[in-house]
Amino acid sequence: MTRSLQWDGCVNVRDLGGVPTADGGHTRFDAFVRADNVRKLSETGWADLYEHGVRRIVDLRWPEELAEDVPHEVHIDVVHISLLGELDPEFIDDIDDYIDAEDPAGYWSSAYTSILEEHHENFGRTLAAIADAPDGVVLFHCAGGKDRTGLVAALLLRLAGAEIDDVAADYALSEANLATGPQTWIESSRNDAERRRRTFMQQTPAEAMTRALEALDEQYGDVRAYLRAGGVTDEQLDRLEGRLVAA
């Protein structure tokens, strides 16, 4: 079986199965799928999604992003959770300092650590929605399948017993995947400075996820404790682990 899923209209789709676990096994295929925006799938792509057994979609995007979708009737249970809360159009961070230092790992590790803490309850709601899904494959996605999706995937993989380095390696795959798709977001930049910023933001250095997960473990002990503190019940945690841990 292959982890990479080629669904027409998306470029960053992969099954969470096949990732090594600390006990020498691998995560189970056909349990969870991470993706970029599935609302861009062609009819053929949707057919592949249905055939893969997806029975719940958890959409992590802001409502403003949902409003831009082309209407499409989806015959699958869809749960919308804005993982990052309300969109703040005035948000400004220190990304320019990291760009000047050519330090994407520093930028994203800091961002991910802050996101995991600031939106702790939303991560709990998201993992609960995945745990409570009907039988079948659960797909979760954002826009590019890199940041919001990457963090949810990381929590699931850690819960299943994957080592941090292997989780970070999965995260890092997104950069090459996104580079193969239409570069409309980068190409629509208003000027060279914005193009430079957007190109920087597309990077997914493994070290960024490694640092963020190490910081989470240092603060909470492990991912299970983090999710429990975010409102996920032990029963839900057991279901998540049971779905993803290969027998």
Secondary structure (DSSP) of 97-128: HHHHTT-HHHHHHHHHHHHHHHTHHHHHHHHH
CATH of domain 14-241: 3.90.190.10
pLDDT at residue 184 greater than cutoff 80: no
- Answering whether pTM is above 0.85, one says yes
The residue among 1 and 224 whose pLDDT is bigger is 224
Which of 91-110 are b and which e, b meaning 16 or more Cβ less than 10 Å from the residue's Cβ? eeeebeebbeeebbbbbbbb
Mean pLDDT across the stretch 103-128? 98
pLDDT at residue 198 greater than cutoff 90: no
Mean pLDDT across the stretch 97-118? 97
Domain spans in the chain, listed from the N-terminal domain onward: 14-241
pLDDT of 66 reads 96
pLDDT of 194 reads 85
Residue in the structure block whose two tokens are 């949902």: 66
* Kind of pairing between the strands at 14-15 and 32-35: antiparallel
The angle formed by the CA atoms of residues 147, 153 and 158, to the nearest 5 degrees, is 125
Half-sphere exposure of 95 (CA within 13 A, CB side): 15
Distances (CA, A) of 130 to 96, 108, 212, 223: 36, 25, 22, 16
Please give the helix or strand (H or E) that residue 80 lies within, else none.
strand 77-80
CA-to-CA distance for 32 and 15, rounded, in angstroms?
6
Mean pLDDT across the stretch 114-136? 98
pLDDT at residue 61 greater than cutoff 80: yes
pLDDT of 183 reads 64
CA-to-CA distance for 174 and 84, rounded, in angstroms?
20
User: Residue 213's closest CA among 154, 127, 141?
Assistant: 154
pLDDT at residue 232 greater than cutoff 90: yes
109: which strand partners? none
pLDDT at residue 187 greater than cutoff 80: no
Mean pLDDT across the stretch 159-164? 98
pLDDT band at 107 (very low <50, low <70, confident <90, very high): very high
